[in-house]
């Protein structure tokens, strides 16, 4: 078994998975660098968990290759891959104490009792659970069980840790807290983490890079800022948060028309030219003003709804007969508008992109 | 809405029937026979009971009973464990077929099933004929009218209890635990020994207890498939009642058997065994 000295770099080339007549994962190509926090993000059925299970070895790699460093591990059984793994419902052994759970991978590897004690102590310290070593997992809260699972995954200091929706069962506050802690531990230990989630905030909060998956394929791959600000498709734009998608007619990759108004956008590289397209712009990029905004894009609109959300005020707008959403920072001095107000809606060319309309109406 | 109390009331006819046909005759039997026994006075009665229980024939039969029960329990555990494990992993069709094969014997009379085994196991039975025609054995194996016959017959009859109990316990084991163990570098065998088997222990203990309890008082199969030397305690009791007409001795033995059975059954209930057997959710 080769774990601690192995590389933490994982490369997937042309990876696919077939169940019956259906290809649930298709042509996944990505190289995850040593020490990277990498998320597979997508709705259920997008193939993210299947992809993780192929990396773990629990699912066979039907097509393509998975490499760890320079070694092809596509056909290597899971127990010889030497990855740490955190499962969705933790998969703690209910008949063992917390310490025995954490010691399990060390016992399998036949470490001496003294070394085991030392490593278990270290792992429990890392997840701040030293006082719970002798408890049974059943006596712990969800968050604590999650930490035990984490301690058990890091205890033999694998180069790579795979996590399958590890925070899915926790409530929202605790989730955020655990996200920060997992990220901290990952950075401190320099491990590669491949993380599966359907929660876009979670993925953006933790990841160096995110692969957004859809229908078994990677829809887009990039840093959180890249995929959030510059989605390649309406699907990615909508999946990562609120998005305005205004139907327009594109006249080039950077210009579009609607009802006599002209729009200028940044080149999305999506090949959209002269055809129906969607103009994408995030709600917080819209500037609202009583007089023309002076930005590259500037159209008339009317306020249809005002939601006071605290740090932002969310406006529902009627722009050229289309609904749009604008988020205004709740700063002192930001002009406030009321339902029915007519105003100007503006945004910079660099904040919008022209995307292909979605075929399936999603 | 039917209240809890009304539901409990629905049990009354059944309770009354059981009292009338089971509890009352039993009490009457104990009362009559022990009354006869204690006509010799308390000391005399107890001395007789002690002497009866420690007599060579009774001790021999007790030893036989416990030995057969232990072996039957172990045999059915070894046979049922893989079946139950398979059931937890089987697809719907396979599950139904296997469970049918396990349960159908329940619906058939014990006597019919026992005679069927006798046809199979006899000196000229199908098994011996096959073995001899294949040249594997020269002479017929003695599979019937000895302890071997009893073990085969009883293990077969009691196997469903073990399978169902083990299955109920195994179903509560999260299959991802084995996956997790494998992901942490454990071999199949290591995960089985350290994870799966310990988690299936409640089922093993419950199943073992129920099969052992049922074996202790078993009558028909050992009576038909055993030899003259293989006298289990239930057969001894029947012998005393019907042939020797020694009701006091039969009563003493019955009481002893009843006491041991109730004791084990109490333990079984305490371990949640009934829930396993009826397959209710244990979570």
What CATH number is given for B50-278 in this structure? 1.10.3720.10
More confident residue, A51 or B2: A51
Quote the CA–CA distance of B96 and B79 in Å, as a whole number.
19
Q: How confident is the model at residue B49 (pLDDT cuts 50, 70, 90)?
A: confident
Cβ-based contacts of B179 with chain A (< 8 Å): 58, 78, 87, 91
Interchain CB contact of A91 with B (< 8 Å): yes
Contact B184 A105 (CB under 8 A): yes
* Percent of chain B topping pLDDT 90: 35
More confident residue, B257 or B73: B73
Give the model's pLDDT for residue B275.
63
Place of tokens 């469903």: B160
- CATH, domain A234-355, list 1.10.357.140, 3.40.220.10, 3.40.190.10, 2.40.50.100: 2.40.50.100
Give the model's pLDDT for residue A199.
93
CATH 2.40.50.100, chain A: domain bounds? 234-355
Question: How confident is the model over B99-139, as pLDDT tens digits?
Answer: 998 888 778 888 888 888 888 888 888 888 888 888 888 88
Q: Which of residues 193-212 of B touch A (CB under 8 A)?
A: 194-195, 198-199
Q: Give the ipTM of the model, two decimals please.
A: 0.75
Give the model's pLDDT for residue B227.
85
- By Cβ distance, the residue of B185, B187, B195 closest to A105 is B185
Quote the CA–CA distance of B34 and B15 in Å, as a whole number.
26
Size of interface A-B (CB pairs under 8 A): 58
CB atoms within 10 A of CB A285: 18
Give the model's pLDDT for residue A47.
94
Quote the CA–CA distance of B131 and B148 in Å, as a whole number.
17
Give the model's pLDDT for residue B245.
87
CB atoms within 10 A of CB A119: 20
Residues of chain A with pLDDT under 70: 1-6, 268-274, 359-362
Cβ-based contacts of A83 with chain B (< 8 Å): 183
* Angle in degrees, CA B132, B138, B143, rounded to 5: 70
Q: How confident is the model at residue B35 (pLDDT cuts 50, 70, 90)?
A: confident
Q: How confident is the model at residue B47 (pLDDT cuts 50, 70, 90)?
A: confident
What CATH number is given for A10-229 in this structure? 3.40.50.300
pTM above 0.90, yes or no: no
Cβ-based contacts of A94 with chain B (< 8 Å): 199
Burial environment of residue B200 by CB neighbours within 10 A (0 to 12, 13 to 18, 19 or more): buried
Interchain CB contact of B108 with A (< 8 Å): no
Contact B185 A83 (CB under 8 A): no
SS3 helix, strand, coil % of chain A, rounded to 5? 30, 35, 40
Give the model's pLDDT for residue B269.
85
| Nearest-neighbour CA in chain A from B176: distance (Å) | 6
CATH 3.40.50.300, chain A: domain bounds? 10-229
Contact B199 A91 (CB under 8 A): no
């Amino acid at each position: 078994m080769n774990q601690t000295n192995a590389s933490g770099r994982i490369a997937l080339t042309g990876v696919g998975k077939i169940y019956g007549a259906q290809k649930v994962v298709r042509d996944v190509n990505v190289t995850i660098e040593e020490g990277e926090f990498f998320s597979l993000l997508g709705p259920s059925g997008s193939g993210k968990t299947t992809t993780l299970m192929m990396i773990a070895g629990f699912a066979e790699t039907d097509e393509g290759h998975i490499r760890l460093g320079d070694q092809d591990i596509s056909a290597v059984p899971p127990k010889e891959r030497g990855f740490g793994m955190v499962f969705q419902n933790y998969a703690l052994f209910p008949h063992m104490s917390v310490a025995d759970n954490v010691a399990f991978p060390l016992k399998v590897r036949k470490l001496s009792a003294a070394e085991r004690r030392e490593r278990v102590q270290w792992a429990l310290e890392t997840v701040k659970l030293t006082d719970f070593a002798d408890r049974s997992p059943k006596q712990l809260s969800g968050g604590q069980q999650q930490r035990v699972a984490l301690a058990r995954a890091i205890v033999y200091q694998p180069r790579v840790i795979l996590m399958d929706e590890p925070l899915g069962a926790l409530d929202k506050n605790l989730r955020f807290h655990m996200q920060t802690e997992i990220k901290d531990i990952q950075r401190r230990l320099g491990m590669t983490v491949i993380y599966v989630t359907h929660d876009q905030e979670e993925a953006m909060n933790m990841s160096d890079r995110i692969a957004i998956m859809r229908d078994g394929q990677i829809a887009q791959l990039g840093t959180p800022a890249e995929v959030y600000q510059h989605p390649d498709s309406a699907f990615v734009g909508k999946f990562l948060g609120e998005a305005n998608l205004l139907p327009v007619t594109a006249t080039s990759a950077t210009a579009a028309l609607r009802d006599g108004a002209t729009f200028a956008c940044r080149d999305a590289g999506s090949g959209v030219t002269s055809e129906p397209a969607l103009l994408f712009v995030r709600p917080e990029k819209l500037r609202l003003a009583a007089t023309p905004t002076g930005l590259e894009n500037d159209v008339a609109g009317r306020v249809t709804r005002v939601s006071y959300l605290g740090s932002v005020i969310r406006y529902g707008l009627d722009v050229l007969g289309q609904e749009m959403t604008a988020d205004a920072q709740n700063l002192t001095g930001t002009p406030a508008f009321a339902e029915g107000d007519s105003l100007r809606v503006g945004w910079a060319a660099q904040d919008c992109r022209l995307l292909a309309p979605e075929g399936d109406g999603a | 809405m039917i209240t809890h109390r009304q539901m409990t009331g629905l049990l009354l006819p059944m309770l009354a029937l059981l009292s009338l046909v089971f509890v009352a005759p039993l009490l009457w039997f104990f009362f009559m026979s022990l009354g006869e026994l204690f006509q010799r006075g308390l000391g005399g009665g107890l001395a007789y009971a002690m002497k009866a229980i420690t007599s060579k024939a009774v001790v021999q039969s007790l030893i036989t009973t416990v030995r057969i029960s232990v072996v039957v329990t172990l045999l059915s555990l070894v046979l049922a464990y893989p079946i139950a494990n398979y059931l937890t992993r089987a697809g719907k069709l396979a599950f139904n077929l296997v469970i049918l094969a396990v349960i159908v014997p329940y619906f058939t009379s014990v006597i019919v099933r026992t005679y069927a085994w006798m046809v199979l196991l006899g000196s000229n039975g199908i098994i011996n004929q096959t073995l001899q025609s294949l040249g594997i054995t020269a002479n017929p194996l003695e599979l019937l009218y000895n302890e071997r016959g009893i073990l085969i017959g009883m293990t077969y009859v009691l196997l469903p209890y073990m399978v169902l109990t083990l299955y109920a316990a195994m179903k509560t084991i999260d299959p991802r635990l084995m996956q997790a163990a494998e992901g942490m570098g454990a071999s199949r065998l290591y995960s089985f020994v350290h994870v799966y088997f310990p988690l299936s222990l409640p089922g093993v203990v419950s199943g073992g207890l129920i099969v052992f309890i049922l074996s202790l008082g078993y009558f028909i199969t050992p009576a038909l498939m055993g030899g003259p030397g293989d006298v289990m305690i239930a057969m001894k009791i029947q012998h005393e009642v019907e042939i020797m007409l020694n009701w006091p001795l039969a009563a003493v033995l019955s009481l002893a058997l009843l006491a041991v059975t109730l004791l084990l059954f109490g333990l079984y209930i305490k371990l949640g065994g009934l829930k396993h057997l009826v397959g209710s959710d244990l979570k």
